[in-house]
């Protein structure tokens, strides 16, 4: 094959998006490509063929195609297509086979090269026994809110690429009483944790390179005494399972470096939100109990500003409601409303929740 017919694309490259005019067919030689439209996603490895229907009908693409790893493809265009198919009968047969199975079918149907889903040793070791596996990937549309940045692990000095949110592009739709921010077409909790691929040091992105000297020494000692058995890397786009695994890897890192009560509490609260969104009621309740424990400990043992205390009372009130502890919820909301100073917004939010409880009791 001519060299210019084989193309290489780095991890994260968007080959095409809905509405793009089709200019090529890609036959995957190495790596994996994720095709997605709405909630449907398919991962294609070697042998997968992508972009064929739109190309041969001279139309536009109806789905996203993004390189989840470094990818090499045989790229067929109007200029080289006849030559490649004439010289490579196996490629021609595979393409005909794929097209024949797509006649009168949805364009997001793929026949060849579909990657099988598997669980890595790191997943099994990090997650609690019996934890479900979530193979779904985050939306490819999230990519417009992210940019890549070089990161150095503070524990083993390995350099890797981290995903950082373009906060200037976020559009806030709602702030809930538990202080969760809901953004239009983006979920920041899926990108909360960075993970070193070598030593598996996992920590919140904003705090990753802000560890104290003492914490770094603890982390290095723990890593040297018990090095990980495997490695970890997010796909592009990452799976929900990888997101959750990163949170549990962060818990292991928290234990090693001595994270604060607030860090533990915030980590569990974000897991509450993720599990709730997934409809995992039992896991959400377990995470709620953990978050409540750490927030209560933080309230009792650390100091904050008046608005900081109000925020904790609001969160504790919401967590108590999730656990059916309405009396404790009322006390926490009441504490947020009667505090001297603080944030007027928090007082209004707490007052509204008290009224909700009264209406519920009277009803």
SS (H, E, C) 171-189: CEEEECCCCCEEECCECHH
What residues pair up with 66 in beta bridges, in sequence order?
Answer: 14, 34
Q: Domains, the chain, ranges and CATH?
A: 3-102 (2.60.120.10), 118-259 (no CATH)
Q: 3 falls in which pLDDT band (50, 70, 90)?
A: very low
For the chain, strand residue ranges (E) read 6-9, 14-16, 25-30, 33-37, 40-44, 49-50, 64-67, 71-76, 146-152, 159-165, 172-175, 181-183, 193-195, 202-204
Q: Tell me the three state secondary structure of residue 144.
A: helix
Residue carrying the six token digits 């490509």? 33
- Chain segment 321-345, per-residue pLDDT in tens: 999 999 999 999 999 999 888 899 9
Q: Tell me the three state secondary structure of residue 119.
A: coil
Residue 226 predicted with pLDDT over 60? yes
> What is the C-alpha to C-alpha distance for residues 306 and 345, in angstroms, rounded to an integer?
13
The two structure tokens encoding residue 244? 């959750």
Residue 212 predicted with pLDDT over 50? yes
> What is the C-alpha to C-alpha distance for residues 233 and 195, in angstroms, rounded to an integer?
7
Question: What single DSSP character describes residue 340?
Answer: S
**89 vs 41, which has greater pLDDT?**
41
Of 238, 232, 297, 239, which is closest to residue 263 (Cα–Cα)?
297
Q: Tell me the three state secondary structure of residue 339.
A: coil
**123 vs 280, which has greater pLDDT?**
280
Instruction: Give Cα 120 to chain centroid, integer Å.
Output: 17
């Amino acid at each position: 094959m001519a060299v210019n017919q084989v193309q290489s694309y780095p991890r994260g490259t968007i080959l095409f998006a809905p509405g793009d005019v089709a200019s090529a067919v890609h036959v995957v030689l190495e790596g994996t490509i994720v095709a997605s439209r709405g909630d449907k996603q398919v991962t294609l490895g070697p042998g997968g063929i992508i972009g064929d229907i739109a190309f041969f009908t001279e139309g536009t693409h109806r789905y996203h195609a993004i390189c989840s790893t470094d990818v090499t493809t045989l790229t067929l265009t109007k200029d080289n297509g006849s030559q490649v198919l004439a010289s490579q009968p196996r490629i021609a047969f595979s393409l005909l086979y794929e097209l024949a199975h797509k006649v009168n079918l949805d364009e997001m149907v793929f026949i060849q090269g579909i990657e099988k889903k598997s669980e890595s040793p790191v997943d099994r070791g990090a997650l609690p026994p019996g934890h479900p596996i979530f193979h779904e990937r985050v939306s490819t549309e999230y990519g417009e809110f992210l940019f890549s940045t070089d990161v150095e692990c503070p524990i083993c000095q390995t350099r890797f690429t981290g995903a950082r949110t373009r906060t200037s592009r976020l559009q806030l739709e709602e702030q809930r009483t538990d202080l969760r921010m809901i953004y239009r077409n983006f979920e920041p909790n899926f990108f909360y944790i960075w993970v070193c691929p070598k030593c598996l040091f996992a920590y919140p992105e904003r705090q990753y390179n802000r560890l104290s000297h003492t914490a770094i020494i603890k982390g290095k000692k723990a890593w040297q005494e018990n090095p990980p058995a495997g490695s970890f890397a997010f796909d592009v786009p990452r799976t929900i399972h990888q997101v959750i695994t990163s949170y549990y890897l962060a818990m292991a890192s928290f234990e090693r470096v001595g994270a604060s009560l607030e860090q533990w509490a915030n980590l569990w609260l974000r897991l509450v939100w993720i599990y709730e969104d997934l409809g995992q009621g039992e896991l959400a309740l377990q995470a709620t109990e953990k978050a409540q424990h750490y927030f209560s400990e933080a309230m009792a043992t650390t100091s904050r500003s008046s608005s900081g205390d109000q925020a904790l009372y609001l969160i504790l009130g919401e967590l108590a409601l999730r656990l059916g502890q309405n009396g404790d919820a009322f006390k926490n909301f009441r504490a947020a409303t009667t505090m001297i100073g603080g944030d007027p917004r928090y007082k209004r939010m707490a007052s509204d929740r008290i009224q909700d409880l009264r209406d519920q009791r009277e009803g």
